[in-house]
């Protein structure tokens, strides 16, 4: 019995010793090795530096500039989805330039020409202003004028706000006639109007051109009429609107003593031209059996018909396209809307259906009381502040045309207040920040055909005032 007790005690002691040995071994492994002892004179070693990391993108030279330039990617809707058009429209406010304009190459600019002599300075500037207000693409203005008007044109155009001047460049030319007697050409019909006949000869570096009279106002982007160049076929080289829509009451069909285009003639106040084609074409004529170049044809044509023409250069253009009808593209009357379209009854269906695109205020209607509709639009673009007046501003009454109530309203979206019983429901509405013109049909009480068209548009005037 004693032996068994002794054996058990020894076994317990052996197990305890083994356990202690294991614990000491484990503790020795976990403890760091003791540093080697050094003599006191030996200097301590410096700790090795941590391995250097490669520099990040932000630490590279110029990274700050590029970081500032980098923008988050824009979300663009895929083509064909509903949001595509609305998103593009919301990114540009009315009157702002599109982003591509600043880098648009000059060969893609719109070229606009005008001839101004005598007292046509103001009309021309208002016309150019309307072109700038309602355009998207950058334009090149070609202004032909007398020496006395050159400084004033240049001064006025350079005083326009930057938001306008960055949308165009201008060049001023003297009045020159390369064929025949210059004095004869200058006195043909209106002062200097015959200059338009020589534009293909003078502007040899210009491929296509839009010519307009000084009394023209753009009520739609110039880009829209410029697109009509794409509709020319292989033989067409110019485009104009008919002189009248109804031949039996048109001037040419009743009074002309010379050949004219079509059944009612064409009006040259708005003329779109492919100058490259005009310069290279040979034109049939009544003088010789073979074709003549444009420049070679002008003076002989004038000499033959000068005693038969009434409207000067426009008559000569009608004669040219009478013999060369395949060369002319005729665009609708809404691109050259004149008092004749409403004085004898409304006879421009395109304007009634789609509105007036280009207003042509011939007969001096911008400066008299015969057609208040035309005058109101002219004054609105010339100086919108002059039309701002209280709601009870009196209207103007004329024998022909229509009544107008000029109202200053804070928001162009607000409908004009209903007129009093004595006044028809016609209004031109303006605010100091934007232009919103509504030419509404006149009442049956005072009939006015020239108010039958309606045009509405908005653009910023904040920098122009």
Q: Is residue 227 part of a domain?
A: yes
Q: What residues contact residue 164 under an 8 Å CB cut-off, 6+ apart?
A: 129, 132, 463, 464
Q: What is the mean pLDDT of residues 70-88?
A: 43
**Residues 301-359: pLDDT tens digits?**
999 998 999 998 999 999 999 999 999 999 999 999 999 999 878 899 999 999 999 99
The confidence score (pLDDT) of residue 48 equals 52
Q: Is residue 23 part of a domain?
A: no
The confidence score (pLDDT) of residue 83 equals 38
Q: Which residue has the higher pLDDT, 229 or 102?
A: 229
The confidence score (pLDDT) of residue 11 equals 78
Residue at which a domain ends, from 331, 364, 382: 331
Q: Is residue 108 part of a domain?
A: yes
- The model's confidence at residue 75, banded by pLDDT at 50, 70 and 90, is very low
Classify residue 309 as exposed, middle or buried by CB count within 10 Å of its CB (0-12, 13-18, 19+).
buried
Residue at which a domain ends, from 278, 313, 331: 331
**451: phi then psi, degrees, rounded to nearest 5:** -105, 10
Same domain, 311 and 442: no
The confidence score (pLDDT) of residue 394 equals 41
Same domain, 155 and 280: yes
In this predicted structure, the answer to whether residue 156 has a pLDDT above a threshold of 70 is yes
**CA dihedral sign, ordered 279, 281, 282, 283:** negative
The confidence score (pLDDT) of residue 43 equals 52
Q: What residues contact residue 307 under an 8 Å CB cut-off, 6+ apart?
A: none
- The model's confidence at residue 111, banded by pLDDT at 50, 70 and 90, is very high
Q: Is residue 112 part of a domain?
A: yes
**Residues 28-65: pLDDT tens digits?**
555 555 554 454 544 555 555 554 444 443 344 444 44
In this predicted structure, the answer to whether residue 105 has a pLDDT above a threshold of 80 is yes
Same domain, 295 and 198: yes
Q: Is residue 215 part of a domain?
A: yes
Same domain, 420 and 357: yes
CATH of residue 300's domain is 3.90.550.10
- The model's confidence at residue 189, banded by pLDDT at 50, 70 and 90, is low
Report d(CA 275, CA 210) in Å as an integer: 10
The confidence score (pLDDT) of residue 380 equals 93
Helices (H), 216-269: 222-226, 251-255
Beta strands across the sheet bearing 405-408: 405-408, 427-430, 434-436, 458-460
**Residues 286-306: pLDDT tens digits?**
888 889 999 999 999 999 998
Average pLDDT, the chain: 75
The confidence score (pLDDT) of residue 455 equals 44
In this predicted structure, the answer to whether residue 223 has a pLDDT above a threshold of 70 is yes
Q: What is the mean pLDDT of residues 95-117?
A: 75
51-65, 79-93, 193-207: which has the highest mean pLDDT? 193-207
In this predicted structure, the answer to whether residue 203 has a pLDDT above a threshold of 50 is yes
The confidence score (pLDDT) of residue 170 equals 97
In this predicted structure, the answer to whether residue 402 has a pLDDT above a threshold of 70 is no
Same domain, 299 and 355: no
Residue at which a domain ends, from 299, 331, 363: 331
Same domain, 279 and 298: yes
Q: What is the mean pLDDT of residues 18-30?
A: 68
- Asked if 186 and 194 count as a contact pair (C-beta separation under 8 A), the reply is yes
Helix (H, G, I), strand (E, B) or coil at 86: helix
Q: What is the mean pLDDT of residues 263-275?
A: 97
Q: Which domain holds residue 135?
A: 97-331
In this predicted structure, the answer to whether residue 82 has a pLDDT above a threshold of 60 is no
- The model's confidence at residue 26, banded by pLDDT at 50, 70 and 90, is low
The confidence score (pLDDT) of residue 64 equals 42
Q: State how many domains the chain has.
A: 2
Same domain, 319 and 352: no
Q: Which residue has the higher pLDDT, 365 or 445?
A: 365
In this predicted structure, the answer to whether residue 79 has a pLDDT above a threshold of 50 is no
Q: What is the dihedral of CA 350, 354, 358, 359, to 10 degrees?
A: 80
């Amino acid at each position: 019995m004693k032996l068994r007790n002794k054996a058990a005690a020894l076994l317990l002691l052996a197990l305890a010793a083994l356990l202690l040995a294991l614990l000491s071994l484990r503790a020795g492994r976990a403890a760091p090795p003791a540093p080697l002892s050094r003599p006191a004179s030996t200097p301590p070693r410096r700790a090795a530096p941590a391995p250097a990391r490669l520099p990040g993108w932000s630490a590279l030279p110029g990274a700050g500039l590029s970081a500032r330039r980098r923008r988050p990617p824009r979300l663009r809707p895929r083509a064909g989805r509903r949001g595509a058009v609305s998103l593009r429209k919301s990114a540009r406010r009315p009157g702002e330039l599109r982003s591509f304009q600043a880098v648009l190459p000059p060969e893609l600019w719109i070229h606009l020409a005008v001839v101004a002599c005598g007292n046509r300075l103001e009309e021309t500037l208002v016309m150019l202003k309307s072109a700038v207000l309602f355009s998207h693409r950058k334009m090149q203005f070609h202004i032909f004028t007398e020496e006395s008007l050159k400084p004033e044109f240049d001064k006025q155009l350079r005083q326009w706000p930057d938001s306008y001047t960055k949308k165009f460049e201008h060049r001023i030319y003297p009045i020159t006639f390369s064929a025949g007697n210059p004095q004869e050409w200058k006195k043909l019909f209106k002062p200097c109007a015959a200059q338009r006949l020589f534009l293909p000869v003078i502007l040899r570096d210009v491929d296509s051109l839009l010519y307009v009279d000084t009394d023209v106002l753009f009520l739609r982007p110039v880009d829209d009429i410029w697109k009509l160049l794409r509709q020319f076929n292989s033989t067409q080289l110019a485009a104009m609107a008919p002189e009248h829509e109804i031949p039996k009451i048109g001037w040419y069909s009743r009074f002309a003593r010379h050949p004219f285009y079509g059944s009612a003639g064409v009006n040259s106040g708005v003329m779109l031209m492919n100058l490259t084609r005009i310069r290279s074409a040979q034109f049939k004529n009544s003088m010789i059996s073979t074709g003549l170049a444009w420049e070679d044809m002008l003076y002989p044509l004038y000499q033959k018909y000068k005693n038969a023409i009434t409207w000067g250069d426009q008559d000569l253009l009608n004669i040219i396209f009478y013999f060369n009808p395949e060369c002319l593209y005729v665009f609708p009357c809404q691109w050259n809307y004149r008092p004749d379209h409403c004085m004898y009854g409304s006879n421009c269906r395109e304007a009634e259906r789609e509105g007036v695109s280009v207003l042509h205020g011939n007969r001096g209607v911008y400066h008299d009381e015969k057609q208040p509709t035309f005058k109101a639009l002219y004054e609105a673009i010339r100086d919108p502040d002059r039309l701002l007046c209280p709601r009870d501003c009196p209207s103007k009454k004329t024998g022909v045309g229509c009544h107008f109530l000029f109202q200053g309203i804070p928001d162009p979206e607000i409908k004009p207040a209903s007129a009093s019983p004595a006044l028809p429901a016609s209004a031109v509405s303006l605010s100091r920040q934007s232009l919103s013109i509504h030419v509404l049909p006149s009442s049956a009480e005072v009939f006015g055909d020239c108010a039958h068209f309606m045009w509405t548009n908005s653009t910023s005037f904040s920098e122009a005032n």
